[in-house]
Each structure stands twice: as structure tokens, then as C-alpha cells.
Chains A and B, each alone.
Chain A
Amino acid sequence: MNLANMTDYHHFPIYSVMVLFLGAFIIAACGSKPSKDPKNPAGFRAWIALCATALSLFFLGSLVKPVMLEGEIISYWMGSRAIAGGYAIGIAMEVDALSLFFALLIATAVFVSAIYSIRYMVHDECVPQYYVLYCMLAGGVLGLVLSGDIFNMFIMVEILTFAAVALTSFRTKVYGALEAAFKYLVVGCMGSTAILTGVIMLYAQYHTLNLAQLANLIPGTMNNATKLAFAFLYIGFSTKAFIVPFHPLAADAHGAAPASISVLISGVLTKSGIYGIIRLTYFLFQTMNLGSMQFMLVFIGSISMFVCVTMALAQHDFKRLLAYHSISQIGYVLAAVGLSTSLGISAGLYHAMNHTLFKGLLFLAAGAVLHETGTTDLGKLGGLSKKMPHTTVLFLIGAFSISGVPPFNGFASKWMIYQATYQKAVESNNIGFLLVTVIALVTSTLTLASFVKVSQSVFFGQMPKEYENVKEVPFGMRLAMGILACLCIVTGLFPKTVTGVLTEPAARAVANVGEYITAMGFKSNLPAPNVTFAQVGVWEPINWLLILCIALLALTIVAVAGKYDRVSERTEDDTVDTKYQLFYGGEKNVYSQVGGGDLFWGFKHNWRHYFDFMHNLHSGIVNDYALWAVVALALAIVYMMIVL
């Protein structure tokens, strides 16, 4: 094999997965002796991990031109064992625009989080092992989205689940870390078992494991066994995406895991679940033209959006709150993808990308706060903007993005989602989709409300005495956050370019299943569809930026002109009686910056029955969560049997 052959870009998908696993192996082989440098306890092993992730990103980045822009679908047979007698006998990788889109997201998040890890993981023991698991997790997710073989997808799901569980409990001393890991392992294993059952039932029916061949064979030949397999696979990937009813696991895992891992769990693992659902519904079974399937995905997406944002409002732990918001945003993605229109898919993928960027940024900011103060309890924190100005600015960029404030990226993608749902409602004459638009808007408002609460309780307001000596986080951590913040702004300011280069090719790939099948060497008679991304309205982010500046200026003038003496010192009562805390209820605190003590007191009071009900429902007992999984599986089976 000569060099020119080896640098052929058709090999790059396998290289990008291989470097990560190879990195994991080399780090593990280098032993676990900590280095002498207190600023980097893993020593050169951290650099190996960083290089592996950077190389992986490079390999995938160089595929943008052929796959995204020129529309090539890379099919790669391991060991050149292609098709014999009309059946796929080898293991394949197939990279179309959809796979590459998710792979790029994953590689970016993994690379940025690796930069962050180096300075973030200084207080921990066994940091070299952290990087082994880190590379395995990254490799598992990349392998999942690049695979062209459904059994390989299962293997990768198992690898990533194990790595994620181990990393969740990596800080064993953290409150609830072991518990969170165990719950995740139990329900995650139920999900993996469901995936395996589905895979093997498909194999029994069609005698192949190749995705393209399955996509060629399944539609039109659905029987009860394939319907059952579909239900099993769907629930299996749902557990990986943490959509309702699996959201409590995400909240637990995020709260306990190191922040750099939270980025991967929210930005990468949930995406792999969404990817699995898209592959399953649009490609393998091609059921998305059915109204009932669209209803199911949009319904579950809307429920996830709303339930998780209300759960987030009631949280008082920084990372747990972010975790619920994360699933709420995944609800947006699922609802948009479930519309089964090109605009909807493009909007959903765009939001998925933005979610990875801004949620990663927020989790890293939460990690920075934890790194410096040692806590993520919103009740204990406050006034950190004076000590950590850079982190505050970066956090605010993330908070604006997730709340959908123009001109940040969250606005652009949410705007597209509103457009897509509205358009779907007009096209299908179904008032239900308008309701989804309304739910999406309300959820966005509640998200903003919740982030007002977070920024006030962590970065502004009164600073407790014990944080007098808090310093800004090291440069390496700020660099990682800065990269994500820049990406948040860039993708928000140039939505047309981003959708044109990344999400529209991916949405086109979703619509064009026939090409996916033929690229692998199978005969398909699916016609190439005519895809348009026309929108009802347009927006110009620059105009919104101007409006935002004017509004901020007005706000600053009002704030400067106002009185200063309204803020009281924190007294002893305030810390003892929760009634006096800023965001947790209480009517009497007249000296508080926010009238009535709690900004959302009225809202929470009126909804107290709902909040109480939800709080009791999320009991924290693993049996309950397992029961939800079983019930979801049973419902999915019944639903599929009826509608398909």
C-alpha cells in the first residue's frame, strides 16, 4: 500500500474513528503513574488525547468538500469484502451528509472538551484513566454515526454507554455520582438490549445487517415481526437521546459527571440517539410519510420540550438545571425532525448543532464555577461576575443563545422551527402543528426566564463572603469556552451560509434515501425527490443585532439613572430561612432587588400542584425509571402494531 492510496479521502471515516480508539489504547498502555506537573496530572497522556481528537476532527473536516458540497456518499467496505450474491457480507461504513453532519458536531464537541479537560481535571485522582474512557466515548459515538452496519451501531452504543457510565461516576466522591451512574447503567442497558433485540429480529427477517440493504428490503414488506423490531429499536435509541420518559437519567448523570463529560453527554450522546431515530424512521423503515409517525415524533418532542423546561424551573443545582434544559432543546430537535418536511429537518439539524455549541458552552461555564468555588448550588453562589468576568460574558453568550435572543444562533434555529411547524400546519391543514409552534414559543420564554434566574443567582447579586478569593479560571478553560462562544455567534450571524453548507445537504440526504441505497451497490427504484427549503418569512440577524444594542443601551441608561441603595446586605436570616432566598419563594424580602423576593413566585405558586406532582413523580428510585422504560416499550409496541 502506497502513501497516495492511504491518503485517499475514502479512508478518512475509518481513520477518524481509529485514531480515537488507538489513542485510548496508547494512553492505557502508558500506565497510570501521575506526572509531576500539578497543572496537568495526566502529563503527556492528555496531549495524546488532544492530538487524537484533533486528528479526528481534521479527517472529518476534510470530508466536508466531497460529501457536503459535492454530494458524494462514501461507502467503505472493511477488508474490501463487498457484496456477494446480492447480499452484503462485509462490514461497511457509509458516510452521507447526515452522518458527516453529526460526526462533525461530535468531533468539534469532543475536541473542545478535551482542551478544557486538561486544566479542569487537576483536582482528581486517576486522570490518565479519564482520558482512556474519554477517547473510548468519543470513538464509540463517532463509530455509531459513521457505521453502515446495524450490528456495529449496537456495538458502538454499548461502548459509548459503558464509557459514559464510567465517566459519570468518575468523581466517586461527588454527591450522588455512583447512584446516577447505576441508574443510567440499568436503564441504558435496557435500551441496549432493546436495540439488540430489534437488530436480531430484523436479521431473522431479512438475513442482512447492512443499513442500505435493510432500507432497500424493509419498506413494503412489513410484518408483525418488523413492527416489533421497529418498536424495540425506537425505544432503544430513545434511551440514548434521553427524550421523555428517559429524561431523569440525563439530569442525574449531568449533575454528577465532570463538566467536560456533561458536554459530551448533552452535546454528543443525545445527538447519537437522535441520529439513530432519524436513520431508523427515515431510512430503514421509511415510515415518516405516515401521519401517525409524524404525530408520534412531534408529540414526544413537544412533551419533552415542555416537561423538561418546567422541571428545570424548579431546580436549584446549576448543572441539573442545565441538564433539563438540554433535554428540552432535544425536544425541539425531535419535533422539527418529526415534521417530515425538508425545512423541518434542516431546522431540526440546525438546532441540534446549535444545541451542541451553546449547551457545551453553558456546561463548561458551570464547570468553571464548580472548579473555582467547589459548588454548583444556586442558593450558595452569587456575585461571581466581579471575580470571573470572562466566564460571565461567555456564560451570558450561551444563555442568550439557548433562550433564543437574536442575533445568537439559538434564535436562528428556533425561528426556523417556528416557520417549519407553521408551514406544516398550513400545508396539512392540521391545527395541531400550530399548537406545537405555540409550545415551542412558550418553552423558549420559560427557558429565558430560567436563565435570568441562573445568571442572577450565580453571576450577579450579592456575593457570599467565602468567595472573596475566587479567581478567574485558567486560560485553557477560557479558550475552550471562547471557541464555543465564537461558534455560537458565527452560526447565529450567518444562518444562510451555515444551513447551506451543513444542514441543507444533510436534509437533502434524509430526503434522498434511494441514493443512500444505490451508493452501497444495491438496486433501488426510489425516485430522487425535489427538495426545497423555501420559508414563509425572512430575518436579517444584523437588524436584530442593532435592535438588541439599542434595547441594551436603553436598559443601561435606566439602570444608571436608578437608585443604588435598594440592595440589602445578606443577613443571617436570609441564609437560614429559605423564604428569604432570591428565587425560592418568600413574600417578605422587601430589600431584594426583585420585588416579592422571588421573580417567578406568582408563576410557581399558581402552578404548585403541577410542580409538586412532577417532583413526586421523579422519585429517584431506579425501579420507577425502569418501569417507565418498560411502559414506553409496551406503548411503542402497541402503537406500531396499530398504525404501521
Chain B
Amino acid sequence: MADVLTVLALLLVAVAATAAVAVRDPARQALVLAVLGLALAVLFTVLQAPDVALSQLAVGSALTPLLILLSVRKVRRRGQREDGGR
């Protein structure tokens, strides 16, 4: 019965990762990626690797979404400027 937690965490990681691939819009993908990071952190903790979970949380919860959303915003602005120039 001790494996219930591990199996559940693995299942959540699999579902979240599949969703992250299936969602096509990058801004929404960033949200799914953040949730995938949370699921991975739980999995690492359940597997007794809190140090890995700590770095996963530090990078995954704030830094990755910030980078993705800033990139999306910059690309969109550049696209609008080029459209306006024509």
C-alpha cells in the first residue's frame, strides 16, 4: 500500500506532461508547465529527493513561466510592429 502515493504522483506527472504537449498556445502552455513543475516536485519528494524537488520548485514555479511569457510578449510586439510597418 506504500506505493499508492508514488503511483498517484507518477500519474499526475504523466497527465500534466501530456497536457503540456497537447496545449498549443505558448502562454497557456506556461501555465500547464508550472503545474507540471508542481507535480514533479511532489514526485521527487515522495521518492525521498527533497533537494531535487527544491530546485525544481525554485526554477519551475516562477522563473520558467516568467521567461516564457516575456518571450511571448516580445515576439508578439515585434510581429505587430512589422505588420504596422508594411
Genuine A/B complex: no
**Residues of chain B having any CB pair with chain A under 8 Å:** none
**Residues of chain A having any CB pair with chain B under 8 Å:** none
